[in-house]
Chains A and B, each alone.
Chain A
Amino acid sequence: MKAAIKDYVISELLSGKDISENDDLLLSGLVDSLGVMRLVTHLEQQYSIKIPPEDVTIEHFMNIEAISLYLEGCMN
C-alpha cells in the first residue's frame, strides 16, 4: 500500500519529484490544500473507504508512512 500511495503522490502531486516515506509531505510547496483534497478523494476511491474531515489532520497526513498507518487503521 505504501508503494502505491508513494507512486500516486510522486506522479500526481509532485510532478515526478522523488520523496521518501518519511519526508515531510506538507512542507514542500508542491502539495497545497487542494492537492491534499485530491489525495483524499483518490484514497477514498482506491480503498473504498470514507475519510471524514476530522481525520484529515497533520497526524494522519504528514508523510506517506503516516497516511498508510492511518489507512490500515481504517480498514481493520
Chain B
Amino acid sequence: MEAPPTYNATSLPGYSGSKLSFILHQAIDRSAERYADRPAFRFLDTTLSYAELVDRANKLARVLVDEGIKRGDRVGIFMHKSLESPVAVYGIMKAGAAYVPLDPATPASRLRKTIQHCGIRCLISHAQKQQDVLELLDAGTPLECVIGLDVIDQPGIRSLGWDCLEAAPGDRAPDSGVMQQDLAYIMYTSGSTGIPKGIMHTHASGLSYARMAAETYGINHEDRLSNHSPLHFDMSTLDYFSGPLCGACTVIIPEAYTKLPASLSTLMEKERMTIWYSVPFALIQLLLRGLLEERDLGTLRWVLFGGEPFPPKHLHALRRLWPRARFSNVYGPAEVNQCTYYHVPVNEPESDMPLPVGRVWPNAEGLVVDDKDQAVACGESGELLVRTPTMMRGYWQQPELNEQVFYRRPAAGGTSDIFYRTGDLVQDRGDGVLMFLGRKDRQVKIRGYRIELDEVESVLAAHEQVEEAAAYVVAGSEDSETIQAAVILKTRQDGITDELRQHCAQQLPWYAVPESICLRESFPRTTSGKINRRELRGHAIEGQRAEAMS
C-alpha cells in the first residue's frame, strides 16, 4: 500500500486564516457568510441552512481529526440519501481527507474489496445500515472507526453515534493543511479486470468543475437544484458542489421517489425546483408515468441530462410540456467531470436525429484521434481525448492503468500536455459540435450506470462450474437496455442459472447483474476464435421475440 502523504513537523502548512477560495469546502463557508439562514440542503420536510451545515461539518471534521484522520486519508460514506449526506461530504473534506461514496446497495463482498483497495480506515454510516456494517466488520476489513451507527461493541473498532457531534466545537474547522492539489473525493466505477476503479479527484479538479458548471448554467442563490443522482454517481457533484458554491438550495431526492414517477413529480412541484439534472432514463419515466400534465413545474429553468443518449422523441415530448425550460445535453466521463455540452436551441425543430454532445467547453481542449493517436480529418470518427483542469489525477492504486489512460503531447520547454483518453468515439459535425458514436471498448451504460461487460464476464467465469462466459446488451422495455449473458458449463447441471445470478448479485452492483443467463454447449466464434458476442446477442433478441409472440 502506498504511504499516505505526511503532514507533520517537517512540512510548512499554508496560512489558514486566509479568505481566498481555493478548496471545495470553502464553498459552504463563503455561502454561510452571505446566506447563513438560507437552505443549503433539503431532504423531505427537513432543511439544513448554510449556518447549520457549516456548524455540523466543522463538528464532524473535529471528531474525525480526533479519531486520527488527517490530510490524504480516505473516509467512506456508506448510507442511504439523507440530510447527513452533505454533513459527511463536507465534514470529511474539512478534516483534510477525501470522501469515498459507497453504493449503499452494493453487495458485501464488493464493498469489502473497495474498502480494502482504498485503505479506508473510517466509515460514516447511518443506523439503517447497522446490519450491513456489522456483517462487513465480521468479515474483516481495515476499518478502525465507524461513525453514525447505534454504538456497536466490536473489538478493535471505535464506534460513535451521530450524537457525537453535539459535544464537538463547530465554530471553526480544524487546520488540516489541505490544499488544492490534495485529494477531495474518490469515486469507484466498474473495472474491466474485475477490480473496480477509483477515480481520484482533487480539490482543484472538483472546484474547477463546480465553477464551470455554475457559470455555464448561471446558477444563483435563488436556485433550487434537484439531487436525483446517488452520491456515488459522478453527477452528484453538480448538486453537492455547484449548488453550495452559489448559495443555492439542493433538494436531495430520496431513493424511493426516484422509482415512483408520480410521487417524484409531486415532490418536484412542491419543492419548486429550478434546475433538474439526471440521466435521461429518469426523465423518460417521469414523462411516461409522472402525470406531468397535472403538475405545475413552471419554475424549471434548466433541464440537464447526461450519462447516456436521450431518445429524441422523448426529449421533444418534454420540451412541449415544459416550454419555458432550457434543455442541455451534458457530456463527460466521470474522469473529467464534464467536458462538452449541447444546449438544445429554443426553436430547434423536432427531428429523430440523435442529439449532439456539443462543443468542448471553455478552458478545455479536445482531440479526435485514430488508433495511433493521429488526428483524424474533420468529420471522421475517432476517440476523443480531453485536456481540462476538471480532469482526475488518476485511478487509485493502478499505476499501469494510469500509464495507459493519459496521452502526453509534447509541449513547450520539454514539458507535456496531459489528455485523458475517454474511450468514446466521436465525430465532428463540421462546426466543432461533436456527435457521440459509441465506445472503443466494451463499456456500456445501463440507465446511466457505467458497466464494463468484461467485468461481468470475469465474475461469471470465476464461478467454479463455469467454463466460459459472454455478456452482452439487449434492448429491453421503454428504451432501456438490459445485460444478458451466456455460459458454457464444465459439466451439465440443471437449475444452475439461479445460482449463477445469485453469484453475480454477490459480486456486482445490482444494475450489472445479468437479467438472464442462458446455458450453451458451445459459443459461436469469429474466424480468429473470439466469442462472437454479436451472434449471441442476435440469438437473445430472437428468443425475446419468440417469447413475445407466444
Contacts and interface: CB of A to CB of B under 8 A. Distances in A.
Contact of B285 (A24, A33, A54): A33
Interface in B213-239: none
A30 B512 CA distance: 11
Contacts of B266: 57
A16 B263 CA distance: 28
A29 B509 contact: yes
B408 interface: no
B263 A29 contact: no
Contact of B260 (A17, A24, A34, A58): A58
* Majority SS at the chain A contact face: loop
Contacts, number: 67
Interface residues of A, number: 24
B324 interface: no
B133 to A, nearest CB: 15
A31 B263 CA distance: 16
A31 B513 contact: no
A54 B261 CA distance: 9
B182 interface: no
B259 A32 contact: yes
Contacts of A49: none
B263 A34 contact: no
B173 to A, nearest CB: 32
A5 interface: no
Given A27-B255, A27-B256, A61-B260, A34 B509 contact: no
- Residue picked from A34, A35, A36, A54, most chain B C-beta under 10 Å: A34
A32 B447 contact: yes
A56 B447 contact: no
A31 B261 CA distance: 14
Query: Which of A30, A32, A35, A36 has the most CB atoms of chain B within a 10 A radius of its CB?
Result: A32
Given A15-B505, A54-B262, A34 B478 contact: yes
B289 A56 contact: yes
Given A33-B285, A54-B291, A26 B260 contact: yes
A30 B105 contact: yes
B511 interface: yes
Interface residues of B, number: 32
Interface string A40-65: 00000000000001111110011000
B104 interface: yes
A76 interface: no
A33 B261 contact: yes
Contacts of A26: 255-256, 259-260
B510 A58 contact: no
B260 A15 contact: no
A28 interface: yes
A15 B476 CA distance: 18
Name which of B128, B263, B476, B477 has the most chain A CB atoms within 10 A of its CB. Answer: B263
B468 interface: no
Interface in B64-118: 80, 103-106
Contacts of B498: 16
A55 B291 CA distance: 11
Contact of A30 (B103, B258, B510): B510
Nearest to A57: B263
Contacts of A27: 80, 104, 128, 255-256
A33 B477 CA distance: 12
B277 to A, nearest CB: 17
11 contacts: A15-B505, A15-B513, A17-B505, A26-B259, A29-B511, A32-B259, A32-B447, A34-B477, A34-B478, A57-B263, A57-B266
Given A27-B80, A32-B510, A34-B480, 17 more contacts: A15-B502, A26-B259, A26-B260, A27-B255, A29-B105, A29-B509, A30-B510, A31-B259, A32-B259, A33-B258, A35-B259, A37-B477, A53-B291, A56-B260, A56-B262, A58-B256, A58-B263
Interface of B: 80, 103-106, 128, 255-263, 266, 285, 289, 291, 447, 476-478, 480, 498, 501-502, 505, 509-511, 513
